[in-house]
Structure 1
């Protein structure tokens, strides 16, 4: 294990120069960042092989992505951030993931840094974020230990799944809080769980990210073995209660990783694109009727999986955004678990579409020269993430059973406008 580089992001050119070279806008609005995301897709495609080889973002990809502002969508408006909607965040993540899953994964994870930063007090924010171009990664499992002392915490721990930590300027680690060796109880009645900005010189990185796919996420483990002091202001409650009066993106701690749903969508889209290209190459200039019916059906099913997964996630994002951007309104348990379940539903679509694409590509998908192989490896690896687990659907069902006034489906949920319209029409 070695100490993580305290300056992981050498800037070979000024941000202004990079933006001029690639035709990027200043990322001072969410719309500008969405436009920039489209503009950098050719760079992501060119850098995809190098990203996979390095098992992290390549220097060029990192510079261009930072200049585009794609890691800044989660910063709150009161800190000067663009405060992008969930719909915009998942769209940008999916757009980039459809070119390279690893690059998209970095977008989905590093954007959560803006959410974390939004929970800091004024003094700590000014100290840690002199600019919003400060990508921040975070890992919360397994949880470390934070012993409460005068002015802060002494922190130790070993954290896995540290996606984006090679690119990050700041690294956050989750830890359970103790005082005088005894657990400290948090707002939920369970042991307090904090996210803490870890001191960079104390972090040791394991360089253990050798994987089947999504290699460029750089999700290495890291640790702090000797207790390191973290000021009390450099921490936030990872399991804070929902608050309808908070900034939109900080009304619920569960919102911060919704953008990762875009990785699943993007990979599924990429697989279908390659499968369609494979069929078109076989077809040549002939009519589609020349392709056997089974192949046409498999492609159509895969296309349908992706289209309807995109449509469903977009609608859940829209409905969630309506609540988040309505002052004083908090997510209901059904709305919150529906938002979380969106990733699991998209993951089911990815599983089905990958199987169909393998059927279409036949034995050729195992070949290194076939680009669909990497996409399938990326898809399998994305499906290993906790957010894709079907257990989230069970939690969604439990919320509906415990809150019958919300119904079981969006058309029956009177807490959103869709439900209201449907009920009025009865």
Structure 2
């Protein structure tokens, strides 16, 4: 095994199930070494191998937030974070794809029950897509005629259904936005994914042309309440949709610390390394603590009442903070690793590329940070997707 084998820090770690551990989290721990062993294949293929996706789906990892009544786990958001963090520590691209698939599935709680059961009642189904309203859907009898193209359709190659955000029009006049479901047969995937980081996510463009979608396969996370009245779905909708992004970031950062530690005793003799690792540990754990504290407080509060605007802003602030601090940790670990980190054989360079792909996502980007600041300062702003 080479000094930079991506399996080094994971294959030696027994994946044991603690008495209080949720079965799906135990499955993530159990699968993590296998995920790590496939890192090179995932990266080279620029997508998740179908066999691995099927294995992850079979373990229930794409049903984390599907309502229990449809066969899902309906996990507390904190458990979602821990599960995705575990997989992302093994491989950032795999964690990202599970994040996209599992959190897209929250839409099951907004769909009419027969449609939700038809889609998510299949135990190993994988769904994905893009919520941004980049498509156009003209109102017609019984539904919509849809044309559109969306970038960043992560993991789409293994999906049975894909979602796309659209602007609804009637006689060419905009009527608002919705999210629509397309069977994979109606979608064309364009292999556009030549990226610096998260290379293994297969985040291609998806396109539909003049496709009919019945009304019952549409929903709005902004203007409609969930049809499943359970505590998880009272949590802010966009807060639930975005909860996996800091989880992936934290997992990648933890892996970077692992990899620096694995470089050997000689590295640990350097005072600068000792100091930096101590600071990185504190930074990562503090960011994680704020994230989990805010998630727990929001979940507890929204069990009884709607989240206030301030709560939604503070929740998303915790997501942004965790993601950005995770990136700072990875940057420091990469710097300390020296010239060994530049080689493709080093997982450290992949941690660097992957974390900076995560930070580019709109859910943690600069416009969102500006919006959060506006709320905290009491300035009027469009907060519909907060």
Contact residue 139 and residue 173 of structure 1 kept, 8 A: yes
Root-mean-square deviation over aligned CA pairs: 2.4
Secondary structure of residue in 2 paired with 1:83: coil
For the residues of structure 2 that align with 1:123 and 1:243, how far apart are their CA atoms? 14
Write the deviation string for residues 111-153 of structure 1: whole angstroms up to 9, x where unpaired: 1232111111122223333424221102133610010111000
TM-superposed CA distance for 1:242, in Å, is: 6.5
Contact residue 137 and residue 166 of structure 2 kept, 8 A: yes
What residue is the counterpart of 1:294 in the other structure?
Answer: 272
For the residues of structure 2 that align with 1:57 and 1:281, how far apart are their CA atoms? 35
Contact residue 334 and residue 349 of structure 2 kept, 8 A: no
Any residues of structure 2 matched to 1:33-44 within 5 Å, and which?
33-44=24-35
Aligned counterpart in structure 1 of residue 188 of structure 2, from 204, 210, 216: 204
Any residues of structure 2 matched to 1:22-421 within 5 Å, and which?
31-141=22-132, 143-184=134-175, 192-225=176-209, 227-240=210-223, 246-251=229-234, 252-254=236-238, 255-278=240-263, 280-282=264-266, 291-324=269-302, 326-327=303-304, 329-402=305-378
Q: TM-score, normalised by structure 2?
A: 0.87
Contact residue 299 and residue 360 of structure 1 kept, 8 A: no
What residue is the counterpart of 2:4 in the other structure?
Answer: none
Secondary structure of residue in 2 paired with 1:369: coil
For the residues of structure 1 that align with 2:201 and 2:134, how far apart are their CA atoms? 21
TM-superposed CA distance for 1:351, in Å, is: 2.6
Give the unaligned 5+ runs of structure 2.
Answer: 1-14, 380-386
Moved beyond 4 Å, runs of 4+: 241-245
For the residues of structure 2 that align with 1:384 and 1:315, how far apart are their CA atoms? 25
1:197/1:241 CA distance change after superposition, 3 Å: closer
> Aligned pairs, how many?
361
For the residues of structure 1 that align with 2:47 and 2:227, how far apart are their CA atoms? 37
Secondary structure of residue in 2 paired with 1:402: coil
TM-superposed CA distance for 1:276, in Å, is: 1.9
Name the larger-Rg structure. Answer: 1
1:394/1:244 CA distance change after superposition, 3 Å: farther
For the residues of structure 2 that align with 1:398 and 1:168, how far apart are their CA atoms? 37
TM-superposed CA distance for 1:334, in Å, is: 1.4
Secondary structure of residue in 1 paired with 2:178: strand
For the residues of structure 2 that align with 1:139 and 1:232, how far apart are their CA atoms? 18
TM-superposed CA distance for 1:313, in Å, is: 1.3
Give the unaligned 5+ runs of structure 1.
Answer: 1-22, 185-191, 404-426
For the residues of structure 2 that align with 1:129 and 1:361, how far apart are their CA atoms? 44
For the residues of structure 2 that align with 1:334 and 1:245, how far apart are their CA atoms? 25
TM-superposed CA distance for 1:179, in Å, is: 1.0
TM-superposed CA distance for 1:202, in Å, is: 2.5
